[in-house]
Amino acid sequence: MNTSVKIAGVTLKNPIMVASGTFGSGAEYSEFVDLNRLGAVVTKGVANVPWPGNPTPRITEVYGGMLNAIGLQNPGIDVFIQRDLENLKNYETKVMVNVCGHSIPEYVEVVERLADTNADLLEINISCPNVTKGGITFGTVPSVAEEVTREVKKVAKQPVIMKLSPNVTSIAEMAKAVEAGGADGVSLINTLTGMQIDIDRRKFALANKTGGMSGPAVKPIAVRMVYEAAHAVKIPVIGMGGISTGRDAIEFMMAGATAVSIGTANFINPYATVEAVEEIEVFMKEHGIEDINEIIGCVE
């Protein structure tokens, strides 16, 4: 039975990755799961310098999901390379580093710094809804997304995966734009912009007013967008958005994803990733699937 998949020349032992921001850099979750069992660890967004993030409250629960407005708090690329990437050298898993910035030069700087590290893949976050400058603008205007991709590709030593926002009119257009810019893959969906009001206190639930919605409730939207993106481009698609189980992962793969990420589910069940890996194997046995690659995009 083969569970390995290939993303832009990088082989993952299985299609289960984690969604950036939900797993730190793996250290906290290594108390619960064996990171060696994962296809890849995807790290929390990192910028050229430390970012303080947003004021609290940064999260709130909504029906079937949550809103977050962490604001990409991160310790900066120096600490990240020395501490977090160094720690991940202890594991037999691939590492995808999520990169954030306020401007093209900031993305480029981080990507350059990662050139000689153990990062296997780069995920460029052009879709965070919680930072006022950069992030989301890069991810909602196709020509700008293409430009960011092109500039990053010029200096990147690793394959470049562009992380797309669902807060757009056409996800297919966005995927095509970054493909034209030279992207080696796309990942989607980032969170959907949402809002919650505490009616008893007449206040926004989040200090940032708006936040990114994630969790099981967004899954049908994510499946639809993965399907549309996979049909629009030739580069591989990494699917995410509400995946909690192995069966959810299979659904995304049938829609066209080559690999998938588990995000919010980690907060609900710290063992979610490894349980999904096991569930995929059970599903393959039950359905007589020899090679996981058979199911990618099998539903037309």
In the bound state with another protein, the residue whose beta carbon lies nearer, of 235 and 277, is 277
**Residue 9 has what DSSP assignment?**
T
Whether 128 is a known active-site residue: answer yes
- Residue 35: how many CA atoms within 13 Å on its side-chain side? 23
Least gap, CB of 230 to another protein (angstroms): 28
Is residue 102 a contact point for another protein (CB under 8 A)? no
Name the catalytic one among 46, 81, 124, 128: 128
β strands within 155-268, DSSP E: 160-163, 185-188, 192-195, 197-198, 203-204, 210-214, 237-240, 259-262
Q: Decide if residue 60 touches another protein (CB under 8 A).
A: yes
User: Rule CB under 8 A: is residue 34 a binding residue for another protein?
Assistant: no
Q: Does 64 bind another protein (CB under 8 A)?
A: yes
Give exposure, 259-289, as e/b (b: 16+ Cβ within 10 Å).
bbbbbbbbeeeeebbbbbbebbbebbeeeeb
- DSSP per residue, 152-176: HHHH-SS-EEEEPPS-SS-HHHHHH
Is the separation of the CB atoms in 108 and 115 below 8 Å? no
Q: Is residue 91 at the binding interface for another protein, with CB under 8 A as the rule?
A: no
Kindly state whether residue 51 participates in binding another protein, applying the rule CB under 8 A.
yes
Instruction: Considering only the stretches 9-17, 55-63, 130-138, 218-226, report the one whose residues sit in contact with another protein under the rule CB under 8 A.
Output: 55-63
Which amino acid belongs to residue 33? V
Under the binding rule (CB under 8 A), the answer on residue 29 touching another protein is yes
Question: In this structure, are residues 93 and 36 in contact, taking their beta carbons and an 8 Å threshold?
Answer: yes
Give the whole-angstrom CA distance, residue 63 versus residue 224.
20
22 binds another protein (CB under 8 A): yes
- Contact flag: residue 131 with another protein (CB under 8 A): no
Tell me the number of residues near another protein by CB under 8 A.
38
Asked if 94 is part of the footprint of another protein (rule: CB under 8 A), the reply reads no
Residue 70 as a binder of another protein (CB under 8 A): the answer is: yes
Stretch that binds another protein, among 7-15, 53-61, 120-128, 285-293 (CB under 8 A): 53-61
210: contact with another protein by CB under 8 A: no
**Interface pattern 157-196 for another protein (x via CB under 8 A):** ----------------------------------------
Q: Of 299, 195, 206, whose CA–CA distance to 253 is shortest?
A: 299
Within a 10 A sphere around the Cβ of 182, how many other Cβ atoms? Answer: 17
- Report, as residue numbers or ranges, the catalytic residues: 128
Q: Which residues of this protein are in contact with another protein, per CB under 8 A? A: 21-24, 28-29, 31-32, 44, 50-53, 56-61, 63-66, 68, 70, 73, 75-76, 79, 215-216, 264, 266-271
